[in-house]
């Protein structure tokens, strides 16, 4: 398998963690999103991946899978051990929902391309961008903290005592928050789970600073 990745991409980070948790090797190909107006916009990459974003996972069949959550569910379906989702449908829905609070509510609005658009379209400055980023993290983390703090399923990780899909999204988000100085004091459960994740080699090795393209 070949993973098209960018060290800072939160979505690529998720797939790197999943590959590590599953013990799957992959060749990592770095696609710099800021150099030369974005290497992901070049025809060479678009030929491989018309979507033009990272992560993309080229699998042995020749298919190139896109979208981090879809890729992770694929890895979980084809390599069931260790499972990244519970077996019960209601519990699966809860874990997927926790993941999606991050992957659908927070991350897309704070993506590099959106932050860049705020600057170019509305003249947003550094402080505006930081405030925007923090605002949407807080909008998502407030309910996330409440759910995790009150749910009987919460353990060492978001659901029980083994890491899964929600932890993958949580860890990548919290790690990337640090660049924007998000105050984690209101989120003790999220912070505790992040620490539990980062104590595991699968999460550590996937972290931005440990990638081949880290700056």
The residues that touch a second copy, with contacts defined as CB under 8 A, are 50-53, 59, 61, 63, 65-67, 69-71, 73-74, 77-78, 89-90, 92-94, 96-97, 100-101, 103-105, 107-109, 111, 113-114, 117-118, 121-124, 128, 132, 135, 139, 143, 146-147, 150
Nearest distance from residue 209's CB to a second copy, in Å?
A: 25
Asked if residues 164 and 14 have their Cβ atoms less than 8 Å apart, the reply is: no
Element (H, E) at 173: helix 165-177
Minimal distance, residue 201 CB to a second copy, in Å: 26
| Residue 42 vs 135, nearer CB to a second copy | 135
Task: Give CA angle at 72 (68, 78), nearest 5°.
Answer: 145
Q: How far apart are CA 155 and CA 162, in angstroms?
A: 8
Least separation in angstroms between residue 208's CB and a second copy is 20
Nearer to a second copy, 78 or 210 (CB): 78
In sequence order, the 6+-apart residues with CB closer than 8 A to the CB of 123 are none
Least spacing, CB of residue 169 vs a second copy, in Å? 11
Give the nearer residue to a second copy in terms of CB position, either 71 or 171.
Answer: 71
How would you class 141 by CB atoms within 10 Å of its CB: exposed for 0-12, middle for 13-18, buried for 19 or more? Answer: buried
Q: Tally DSSP H helices, then E strands, for the chain.
A: 9, 4
Rank residues 81 and 150 by Cβ distance to a second copy and give the closer one.
150
């Amino acid at each position: 398998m070949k993973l098209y990745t960018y060290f800072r991409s939160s979505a690529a980070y998720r797939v790197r963690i999943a590959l590590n948790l599953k013990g799957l090797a992959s060749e990592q190909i770095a696609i710099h999103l800021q150099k030369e107006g974005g290497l992901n916009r070049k025809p060479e990459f678009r030929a491989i991946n018309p979507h033009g974003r990272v992560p993309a996972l080229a699998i042995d069949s020749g298919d190139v899978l896109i979208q981090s959550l879809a890729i992770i569910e694929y890895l979980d379906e084809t390599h069931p051990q260790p499972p990244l989702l519970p077996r019960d449908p209601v519990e699966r829905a809860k874990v997927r929902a926790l993941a999606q609070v991050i992957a659908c509510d927070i991350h897309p609005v704070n993506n590099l391309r959106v932050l860049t658009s705020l600057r170019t379209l509305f003249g947003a400055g550094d402080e505006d961008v930081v405030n925007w980023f923090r605002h949407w993290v807080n909008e998502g983390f407030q309910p996330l903290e409440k759910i995790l703090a009150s749910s009987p399923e919460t353990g060492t990780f978001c659901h029980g005592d083994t890491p899964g899909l929600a932890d993958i999204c949580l860890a990548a988000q919290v790690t990337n928050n640090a660049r924007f100085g998000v105050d984690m004091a209101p989120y003790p459960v999220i912070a505790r789970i992040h620490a539990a994740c980062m104590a595991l080699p699968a999460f550590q090795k996937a972290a931005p600073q440990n990638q081949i393209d880290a700056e």
